[in-house]
Amino acid sequence: MVEKIPLLDLRAEYAEIKESVDASIRRVVESARFILGDEVTNFEKDFAAFCRAEHAIGVGSGTDALYVALKTCGVEAGDEVITTPMTFIATSEAISLCGAKPVFVDIDPKTHNLDPNLIEAVITPKTKVILPVHIHGYPVDMDPILAIARRFNLYVIEDAAQAQGAEYKGRRVGTLADMACFSFYPGKNLGAYGDAGAITTNNAELAKKARLLRDHGRTSKYEHQVVSFNWRIDALQAAILHAKLPYLEGWNRRRHEIALTYNKLLKNSGAQLPVIDEDFGSVWHHYAINIPKRDDVQKKLKEKGIETGIHYPIPLHVQPAYQFLEYEAGDFPMSETVAETTLSLPMYPAMTEAQVQHVAEILLGVLSERASDE
């Protein structure tokens, strides 16, 4: 019988934490306090501490977090925001929803993260924010970006949707720039049981403004200082996330062990493997390798019971939704090559050593079969 290994296994995770999650859900339902209140405040306090940040503001999703953070930094119609085309579309959608223009720069193919060396060339008088994304949970090389931002007087917002707990040169993601945005989409390293997100910052003024914006611009129940909207986190999701938070550090450590094992077992596979570097403490939201003829490999792995993912198959500059920006295929060659060759292997904390080895053995088999066919 073929052993099936999923890309991630949320049911196994729930089995591990069922009691505390169930108790939290019951507590919220019995309290009948579903909007903001202690559940949200308590989660925000502990999530801020986890990030070693001074403030955390819970919002409805990672997409909401990006939008609220951009608005907090004053992004408006006509502004430009520099980001990567190798990300989930939420990053640029939030920019577009502000009426601003996403300006893409290419990536470093080794890390799949935006290449800081390419930023300065696209800065214009309209540029307001640099928005790097810690893709796959791998921290962006932030120091050169922060130096550019200081020189040009720009805000930097981290898209840390995939990177809860990641560390750059010993500093935790979420504290590296003016603001950071997290997603708690169910499959994230810390995932809700629905949509949820958060913003972190060490700047009290920005925190205050983000808090105002996420809740109808209100200063008291029926007093509204600015026109905003409802971007609140759900109290039920905050309680679930709070119950899961104490496990996150251990889960991230387990993901790191899995990545080390994959890197060891796949060393001679011919695939380009993720870089492991002390200064770039990834939390391995995805373990993404690069291989030519990726679709064929993915199909063969599927036949053998191994589920994989592609993050992401179409860079944003060539998405139909962004045709109006008038980018063309070939504009960001590194992103395009990565999109064609990237493949995410199964990665979740409940994976056993035997399962990691099984995935590696099957992949090595598929790759060597292919080499002998060529």
Q: Which residues sit at the interface with ligand PLP, rule CB under 6 A?
A: 61-63, 87-88, 90-91, 133, 159, 161-162, 183, 185, 195, 197
Taking the CA atoms of the chain, what radius of gyration do you get in angstroms? 21
CA 221, 226, 232: angle at the middle one, nearest 5?
60
CA atoms within 13 A on the CB side of 3: 9
Residue with the CB atom nearest ligand PLP in the bound state? 62
Choose between 174 and 197: whose C-beta lies nearer to ligand PLP: 197
At residue 224, what are phi and psi to the nearest 5 degrees?
Answer: -125, 120
Minimum CB distance to ligand PLP, residue 125 (Å): 27
Minimum CB distance to ligand PLP, residue 50 (Å): 18
Choose between 93 and 340: whose C-beta lies nearer to ligand PLP: 93
Choose between 196 and 362: whose C-beta lies nearer to ligand PLP: 196
Choose between 61 and 111: whose C-beta lies nearer to ligand PLP: 61
Choose between 91 and 308: whose C-beta lies nearer to ligand PLP: 91
Question: Which tokens is 295 given?
Answer: 């679709």
Contact 213, 226 (CB under 8 A): yes
Minimum CB distance to ligand PLP, residue 353 (Å): 28
Minimum CB distance to ligand PLP, residue 341 (Å): 19
Q: Report DSSP state, residue 331.
A: S
Choose between 62 and 309: whose C-beta lies nearer to ligand PLP: 62
Choose between 230 and 368: whose C-beta lies nearer to ligand PLP: 230
- In DSSP terms, 201 is beta-bridged to 55
- Pairing of β 218-220 and β 223-224: antiparallel
Q: Is 229 exposed, middle or buried (0-12, 13-18, 19+ CB in 10 A)?
A: middle
Question: Which tokens is 93 given?
Answer: 């959608």
Peptide bond into 322 cis (omega under 30): no
Minimum CB distance to ligand PLP, residue 358 (Å): 27
Minimum CB distance to ligand PLP, residue 243 (Å): 19
Contact 91, 133 (CB under 8 A): yes
Minimum CB distance to ligand PLP, residue 318 (Å): 18
Is the torsion defined by CA of 247, 190, 339, 365 positive or negative? positive
- In DSSP terms, 167 is beta-bridged to 172, 281
